[in-house]
């Protein structure tokens, strides 16, 4: 199974392109008509399209509201705003490549140099 992603609007637009360049199926919410939509709408779209959601929104890390076993997977990226976008993209790509299909049905917290999985 190939991993498919959707990046939330709080993620740099370039992140989806970086993932595509690495061979992954990735889209940005702004490119599929979801700009400004609620978290619930974005989440439902991701699930309907079998896409893992990449976001900076800590609300998605609430496993009571978004149980990992009941969704495709969520990556919450915790990279400081002071870091350049290329560092953000490098950490996301590293996490995706290192953890791979273990991201499915898990909550992943991505930080500089590490990934924590729950689920």
pLDDT at residue 119, as a whole number:
84
Report which DSSP code applies to 83: S
For residue 99, the number of C-alpha atoms closer than 13 Å in the C-beta half-sphere is 25
- Domains, the chain, in order of start with CATH, read 4-118 (3.40.50)
User: How, if at all, do strands 25-28 and 52-55 pair?
Assistant: unpaired
Q: Which of 98, 64, 86, 91 is nearest to 76 (CA)?
A: 91
For residues 80 and 95, the answer to whether their CB atoms sit within 8 Å is no
What's the pLDDT at 102?
Answer: 95
Residue 6 backbone phi and psi in degrees, to 5: -135, 135
Which segments in the chain show pLDDT lower than 70?
1
């Amino acid at each position: 199974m190939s991993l498919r992603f959707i990046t939330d609007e709080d993620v740099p637009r370039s992140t989806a392109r970086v993932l595509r360049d690495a061979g992954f199926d990735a889209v940005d919410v702004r490119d599929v008509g979801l700009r400004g939509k609620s978290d619930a709408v974005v989440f439902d779209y991701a699930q309907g399209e079998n896409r893992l959601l990449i976001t900076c929104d800590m609300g998605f890390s609430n496993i009571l509201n978004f149980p990992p076993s009941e969704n495709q997977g969520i990556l919450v990226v915790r990279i400081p705003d002071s870091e350049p976008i290329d560092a953000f993209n490098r950490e996301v790509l590293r996490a995706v490549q290192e953890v791979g299909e273990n991201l499915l049905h898990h909550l992943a917290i991505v930080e500089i140099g590490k990934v924590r999985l729950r689920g």
